[in-house]
Amino acid sequence: MTHNAAADHGDHERRAAATAIEGAVTQAFGVYGLPLPALVDVPARATQYSPLVAGASALEDAPASALAGFVLLAPPSTLERRCVIALALRAVKPGSPFTVLALKDKGGARIGRELEAFGAEVRDDARRHHRICTTARPATPTGLDEAIAEGSLRFVDAIGLWSQPGVFSWDRIDPGTALLASILAAQLPLAGRVADLGCGIGTLARATLAASIAISELTLIDRDRRAIAAARLNVPDARARFTWSDLRAHAGGLADLDAVVMNPPFHDGGAEDRALGQDFVRIAARMLRRGGRCVLVANRHLPYEGILASAFRSVTLLADRAGYKVYEAVK
């Protein structure tokens, strides 16, 4: 096939997919994530199902065969991705348009084979470093229940906590979190109103509450709805409060806190983003009362010293070992 013929063929397939999507606009349509408009058409009124978009609907709760189409920006990890694809296929009517896309080095090279394993006939395209697979939902997809079970919320015996593939450090205790928890228990018990920013499945909050009866309330905040769901099971303490929110967009109305604990994230969409952790430091400073404390752990290579010094009155390095640093910053 010549270059021009291949381009024409690709344009034809994109137009066909767009036509199928347009036909579903008047019916319920689903989208997972925030795919680039230049890569795929998504109806303006599509229901968002990503757990990373605050307020989105839960895909696991979507009725079977209820949606007239779906566009899915696939996550990079295998168990999570297969589970999400299976949940979306379950939610879509047989024969409805179904599009999955991902960066080639973030699962895109695998999504075609994964769709075929579910019984779909796949057409694929490549643009802007993405693999884009289009299909129609098969009448009788295979293997959905198994993929959903593998990627769903479960109790992980190895860590003794509830967790789910796709959340931060889902099947192991993060070493930085463990270091911070040990310091809070041994030398820095907290008191009053506390928040755990980017709480994940609640590992740090659980340890923080266990270390101090003087804590009156601890609010766990995370942008991942799945992490909050796991944290509710892992932190059955009456002092715990849970908030599903992207802190950079909405800080949950917290103010005049006595303390903040955190292992701030520094990845967004799989890429390192140092500004993300620095934003968490600024947000923590705004939440605290004067004299309030922020206790955080960070990978040694991350440059938080400058932002801590500018946002807080005093900063103390409590530990520097095993590739991690723990700071106490007083407002």
Give 242-280 pLDDT, tens digit per residue: 999 998 888 778 999 999 999 998 766 666 677 888 999
Average pLDDT over residues 285-301: 95
What is the torsional sign of CA 30, 31, 37, 38?
A: negative
Q: Where are the beta strands (DSSP E) in the chain?
A: 30-32, 47-48, 70-73, 97-103, 123-127, 130-136, 154-156, 161-163, 192-197, 215-222, 240-244, 257-262, 267-268, 271-272, 288-299, 314-321, 324-330
pLDDT in the model for residue 303 = 85
The H helix count followed by the E strand count for the chain is 9, 17
Whole-angstrom Cα distance, residue 185 to residue 169?
21
Is the pLDDT at 17 greater than 70? The verdict is: no
pLDDT in tens, 223-237: 999 999 999 999 999
pLDDT in the model for residue 4 = 47
Is the pLDDT at 124 greater than 80? The verdict is: yes
Check residues 209 and 186 and name the one with the higher pLDDT.
Answer: 209
pLDDT in the model for residue 272 = 64
Average pLDDT over residues 167-174: 96
How many C-beta atoms lie closer than 10 Å to residue 312's C-beta? Answer: 21
What is the torsional sign of CA 6, 16, 39, 82?
A: negative
Is the pLDDT at 312 greater than 70? The verdict is: yes
Average pLDDT over residues 139-165: 98
The DSSP 8-state label assigned to residue 65 in this structure reads: T
Confidence tier at 199 by pLDDT (50, 70, 90): very high
* Whether domain 154-330 has CATH 3.40.50.150: yes
Average pLDDT over residues 50-64: 96
How many C-beta atoms lie closer than 10 Å to residue 51's C-beta? Answer: 26
pLDDT in the model for residue 23 = 47
Do 294 and 259 contact (CB within 8 A), yes or no?
A: yes
Whole-angstrom Cα distance, residue 41 to residue 99?
10
Is the pLDDT at 169 greater than 60? The verdict is: yes
Do 277 and 305 contact (CB within 8 A), yes or no?
A: no
Is the pLDDT at 18 greater than 90? The verdict is: no
How many C-beta atoms lie closer than 10 Å to residue 5's C-beta? Answer: 9
Check residues 5 and 258 and name the one with the higher pLDDT.
Answer: 258
Beta bridge partners of residue 328, listed in sequence order: 295, 316
Average pLDDT over residues 287-298: 97
Average pLDDT over residues 288-314: 94
CATH class of 3-151: alpha beta
How many C-beta atoms lie closer than 10 Å to residue 109's C-beta? Answer: 12
pLDDT in the model for residue 275 = 83
Domain ranges of the chain: 3-151, 154-330
Confidence tier at 187 by pLDDT (50, 70, 90): confident
% of the chain beyond a pLDDT of 90: 83
How does the average pLDDT of the chain come out, rounded? 91
The DSSP 8-state label assigned to residue 64 in this structure reads: T
Domains 3-151 and 154-330 agree in fold:
yes
* Residue closest to 314 by CA, chosen among 287, 294, 284, 288: 294
Least confident of 195-199, 276-280, 287-291: 276-280
Beta bridge partners of residue 294, listed in sequence order: 260, 329
pLDDT in the model for residue 63 = 97
Is the pLDDT at 16 greater than 80? The verdict is: no
**With a threshold of 0.85, does the pTM exceed it?**
yes
Whole-angstrom Cα distance, residue 135 to residue 99?
6
